[in-house]
Amino acid sequence: MATATKGFDGPLGKASAVVMARMNRDMEIAAVDALDLQPHASVLAIGFGPGVGVEELARRLPEVHVCGIDPSAVMVAHATRRNRAGADAGRVMLRRAGAESIPWPDDSFDAVVAVNSAQLWHPLDTGLAEVARVLRAHGSLVMITHRWAIERRCSPDAWVTDVAQCLALHGIETASSTKPFRSGPGIVVTARRRAGPPTTAPGA
């Protein structure tokens, strides 16, 4: 698989799944809170890790369909165990894949959520283009990312600008803010897809 899962597979991945389930729980819950979901919505969770957010979505909205992707075999196994009832009922479907190649057709989802994952998409703009491809008109996107994880790569302001510009090319307008979480400040990007084609052609 082209997507790197260093630190999220093998014994280290198993240990980090346990830690992340505890330490990042508030971020996952905040992301679910920020989604504006109808009862029968179809939601994609990208980089779900131990599957806390997937579990919360399925618990809160008993008729929602939750799909998820994560390139780590350890995370897929961990999250599938956590969401066994939903998976058995056909409401939760978790697959091994990266954001750069989302294995669902265009316009599949009413909402997309990604917590502490977008900083790992490589390249970022390919992942964002994939999000735009699978998000339906009027669909919502919520991304929450540790500020420190972005700072390892670039300035948070530059990252937010990059994300906003990439998504604007696909007709998705963003708003961003910084919020405190248990494990440090998180950059929250929320977005809604306009109806109809983007005003600027992708790649223009």
Question: Which one-letter amino acid corresponds to residue 100?
Answer: E
Question: Least distance in Å: CB of 186 to ligand SAM?
Answer: 9
Distance between CA 107 and CA 147 in Å, rounded?
30
Beta carbons of 112 and 46 less than 8 angstroms apart:
yes
Bridge partners of 115, per DSSP, are 144
Strands (E) in 59-126, as ranges, are 65-69, 92-95, 109-115
Reading the block at residue 160, the tokens are 């937010």
Distance between CA 19 and CA 75 in Å, rounded?
12
Distance between CA 102 and CA 125 in Å, rounded?
13
Is 5 one of the binding residues for ligand SAM (CB under 6 A)?
yes
Q: Which of 120, 143, 166, 191 binds ligand SAM (CB under 6 A)?
A: 120
* # residues contacting ligand SAM (CB under 6 A): 23
Is 159 one of the binding residues for ligand SAM (CB under 6 A)?
no
What one-character DSSP code corresponds to residue 132? H
Question: Which one-letter amino acid corresponds to residue 40?
Answer: H
Is 116 one of the binding residues for ligand SAM (CB under 6 A)?
yes
Is 145 one of the binding residues for ligand SAM (CB under 6 A)?
no
Is 27 one of the binding residues for ligand SAM (CB under 6 A)?
yes
Is 8 one of the binding residues for ligand SAM (CB under 6 A)?
yes
Which residue in the shown chain puts its C-beta closest to ligand SAM? 49
In angstroms, what is the C-alpha Rg of the chain?
16
Is 71 one of the binding residues for ligand SAM (CB under 6 A)?
yes
CB of 42 or CB of 116, closer to ligand SAM: 116
> Do strands 172-179 and 92-95 pair parallel, antiparallel, or not at all (unpaired)?
unpaired
Q: Which of 115, 128, 129, 188 binds ligand SAM (CB under 6 A)?
A: 115
Residues 32-61 that bind ligand SAM (CB under 6 A): 46-49
Is 72 one of the binding residues for ligand SAM (CB under 6 A)?
yes
Question: Least distance in Å: CB of 68 to ligand SAM?
Answer: 10
Question: Least distance in Å: CB of 78 to ligand SAM?
Answer: 9
Distance between CA 96 and CA 54 in Å, rounded?
15
Q: Where do contacts with ligand SAM occur on this chain (CB under 6 A)?
A: 3, 5, 8, 20, 24, 27-28, 46-49, 70-72, 75, 98-100, 115-117, 120-121
